[in-house]
Amino acid sequence: MKSQTFDKAKWHYDTPSAPTGISHEAGATHIAFFLRWCVEKDFASKEMVREHANELEQIKNKTLDGREFILDCLDGAFTTDELNTRGVLFAIAYYGRENTKFAQTYGTYTGDYDELVKSKLTTTNIDSSDDSAYFYVENSEENYEIVKSVIDKRYEEFLSLKKRNYKSGKN
């Protein structure tokens, strides 16, 4: 399968709409939350495990900031290369493409994240209703747990939809 890019940190920190002076890490927070969830679910590809086993273990143990991993080891990009088949299927359906059957029914990760920024995630020195609050989400365990609970719910919905489609012959 040809590699597909889900997201790049620079798409967020290196744009005209980004606040001036934000760190590169600020553009990677939402990606790091999703990638950490994938690592915890053992959705890393064999190649990723072979090349970054120590770092993945550190992410699981919460001793390595996922944003640093994305920026230093993945050149700021999150692609299909980082995930195994189960991870790729879920990420393609959910991460950011509005045109998938799953996304049309349940929404996308980026849409869910935007809603969480406005309502639940802790931001630094800015009102969460401000359009730029996205760039100031704290990379905290509390915020990760909030995001994780939404991804967990969406993954269960994804599995349920796959099961229904399989039973009805719509693989």
Residue labelled with tokens 């699981």: 60
Interstrand relation of 5-8 and 77-79 (parallel, antiparallel or unpaired): antiparallel
More confident residue, 91 or 164: 91
Q: Parse the chain into domains and list their residue ranges.
A: 5-162
SS3 33: helix
Asked if 139 and 29 touch (Cβ cutoff 8 Å), the reply is yes
Cβ of 51: how many Cβ atoms within 10 Å? 14
Residue labelled with tokens 């920026």: 71
Beta pairing partners, 77? 8
Residue pLDDT, tens place only, 101-129: 999 999 999 999 989 998 887 777 666 56
Six token digits for residue 136: 């100031």
**So what's the pLDDT on residue 53?**
98
10-19, 24-33, 123-132: which is most confident:
24-33
**So what's the pLDDT on residue 166?**
59
